[in-house]
């Protein structure tokens, strides 16, 4: 076994963190919240929970269906692209068969996809759900998107110098 460079380990950890943040955001039920913890409801992209039960949306989309489906699609795509960046990070760590530039590009693409999704969702929430609050999953989406951009830029710049 050869010693793995600290940069490669850092890139892999950062890619994994972006993937986890975007995945938790996409699958979480905390995009919108209303009420208190005893008498409230949480709504995610694919399901929601009220005080006593959880439910999947299926064909009963809460809001304009086209915008909601676009939000779901762009977030799923951002998760898949960040997974690709993580897999490339693993390959980079094991062997040098992947250029770091590819990882940087994938992370920036994940940022763009997540940002589009978050922008569409913000429009839906402000237009149809003004009395609801943004939840933790929505925040994770922004943190994951910005982390993807930051890590992508850092990886791109450090490998150029």
| CATH number of the domain enclosing 22 | 1.20.140.150
Structure confidence at residue 143 (pLDDT): 98
Please tell me the total count of domains within the chain. Answer: 1
C-alpha span between 16 and 21 (Å, rounded): 9
Whole-prediction pTM value?
A: 0.90
Residue 138, exposed/middle/buried by CB under 10 A (0-12, 13-18, 19+)? buried
Instruction: Return the pLDDT at 1.
Output: 45
Is residue 140 within 8 Å of 29, Cβ to Cβ? no
pLDDT for the residue numbered 120? 95
Instruction: Please give the residue range of the domain that contains residue 151.
Output: 1-157
């Amino acid at each position: 076994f050869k010693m793995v460079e600290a940069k490669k380990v850092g890139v892999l950890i950062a890619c994994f963190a972006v993937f986890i943040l975007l995945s938790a955001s996409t699958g979480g039920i905390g995009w919108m919240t209303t009420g208190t913890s005893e008498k409230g409801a949480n709504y995610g992209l694919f399901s929601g929970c009220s005080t006593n039960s959880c439910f999947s949306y299926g064909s009963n989309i809460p809001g304009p269906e086209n915008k909601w489906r676009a939000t779901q699609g762009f977030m799923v795509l951002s998760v898949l692209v960040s997974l690709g960046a993580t897999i490339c990070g693993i390959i980079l760590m094991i062997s040098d068969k992947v250029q770091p530039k590819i990882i940087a590009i994938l992370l920036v693409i994940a940022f763009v996809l997540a940002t589009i999704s978050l922008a569409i969702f913000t429009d839906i929430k402000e237009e149809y759900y003004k009395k609801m609050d943004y939840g933790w999953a929505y925040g994770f989406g922004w943190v994951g998107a910005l982390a993807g951009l930051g890590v992508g830029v850092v990886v791109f710049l450090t490998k150029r110098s």
